[in-house]
Amino acid sequence: MAQGDKRDQRVKKQGKPSEHQKKRAPKPSNNDSIRLNKYIANAGICSRREADMYISIGNVTVNGKVVNEMGYKVQPGDDVRFDGRRISPEAKAYVLLNKPKGFATTTSNDKGNTVMDLVAKATKSRIKPIGRLGRNATGLLLFTNDDEVHQRFTNSKQGVVKLYQVTLSKNLKMADLDRIREGIKIEGKSISVEEIAYVDGAPKKEVGLKIKHTGNSVIRTIFEHLNYEVVKIDCVIIGGLTKKDLPRGNWRHLTKQEVINLKML
């Protein structure tokens, strides 16, 4: 056999793995997966060692099932809960936006210009808006990935008071202002406000309205029920947070003290 033929055979033998090598080949892994104890620690619940203890006694569920397995890996999109409360390994983020007109309050990508476009560079955490401001409404809108804060805002009994400045197409009659203040029933559903008053130094078609509801659609519902057209809605205060030093279209992160105050409301 020629020298060249022997060399070709050696190359072929070296290039073809043995059956033993095939069995020991490493399995592909999901680089986005994370050990459950690390997931819990990253969420700020406790240390990894403590997380192992909580896992072993059944305090943790993944996608609705109790997981006791040490070393279990969480996959992207899994619903992980600690003592029934959903947790996330992301850093908690709290972003306040002064929303301009023309942006829809949604996380959907097929609604044209959205508020998510305005806060895209605010954080890498997956924040979402609390409540809604209509596309043509303006003012403060709070974003976070903190489920506790979301629940506090959207809880119908607890809620967080927001102050809106509302401009109507005509002056609001005192009798109608009193009806709103006392609570109004629309289609069998009672709607109450915390406070309503005319804006000082402005025409009677401009009113301030404090309310706990998380969306401005209820404001339109109230005034349209009384035959007023809503021309403008501007959210000026959210639970003590104001538009001070926050120009329209801009955002800022909440301070640690503001987050504490928000959770204590």
Q: What pLDDT, on a 0 to 100 scale, did the predictor assign at position 18?
A: 47
For residues 38, 42, 48 and 50, what is the CA-based torsion angle, rounded to 10 degrees? -130
Confidence check: pLDDT of 11 > 50: no
Confidence class for position 31, pLDDT limits 50, 70, 90 = low
DSSP letters, 200-263, are: TTS-TTEEEEEE--SBTHHHHHHHHHTT--EEEEEEEEETTEE-TT--TT-EEEPPHHHHHHHH
Confidence check: pLDDT of 8 > 60: no
Confidence check: pLDDT of 232 > 80: yes
Strand-pair category, 230-238 with 138-144: parallel
Confidence check: pLDDT of 89 > 90: no
- For residue 114, the 8-state DSSP code is B
User: In the predicted model, what is the mean pLDDT of residues 170-185?
Assistant: 96
Cα separation values, 133 from 11, 36, 165, 176, 186, Å = 69, 37, 13, 24, 21
User: In the predicted model, what is the mean pLDDT of residues 52-60?
Assistant: 94
pLDDT tens for 124-169 read 888 999 988 999 999 999 999 888 888 888 775 667 899 999 999 9
User: What is the distance, to the nearest Å, from the Cα of residue 15 to the centroid of all Cα atoms in its chain?
Assistant: 53
Lowest mean pLDDT: which of 8-17, 90-99, 135-144? Answer: 8-17
Angstrom distance (rounded) from CA 104 to CA 110: 10
> Which residue do the tokens 């959770």 mark?
263
> Which residue do the tokens 């619940």 mark?
45
Angstrom distance (rounded) from CA 248 to CA 234: 11
Q: What pLDDT, on a 0 to 100 scale, did the predictor assign at position 28?
A: 37
pTM over 0.75: no
Q: What pLDDT, on a 0 to 100 scale, did the predictor assign at position 156?
A: 59
Which residue, 237, 213, 212, is CA-closest to 142? 237
User: In the predicted model, what is the mean pLDDT of residues 181-210?
Assistant: 94
Which residue, 211, 95, 231, is CA-closest to 166? 231
Q: What pLDDT, on a 0 to 100 scale, did the predictor assign at position 53?
A: 94
Q: What contacts 70, CB < 8 A, 6 or more positions away?
A: 37, 52, 55, 56
Confidence check: pLDDT of 74 > 90: yes
Confidence class for position 12, pLDDT limits 50, 70, 90 = very low
Check residues 175 and 77 and name the one with the higher pLDDT. Answer: 175
Q: Identify the three-state secondary structure at position 34.
A: strand
Mean model confidence pLDDT for the chain? 86
Percent of residues, the chain, with pLDDT higher than 90 = 62
Confidence class for position 262, pLDDT limits 50, 70, 90 = confident
Structural domains in the chain, CATH included, are 34-86 (3.10.290.10), 94-156+241-264 (3.30.70.580), 162-238 (3.30.2350.10)
Q: What contacts 28, CB < 8 A, 6 or more positions away?
A: none
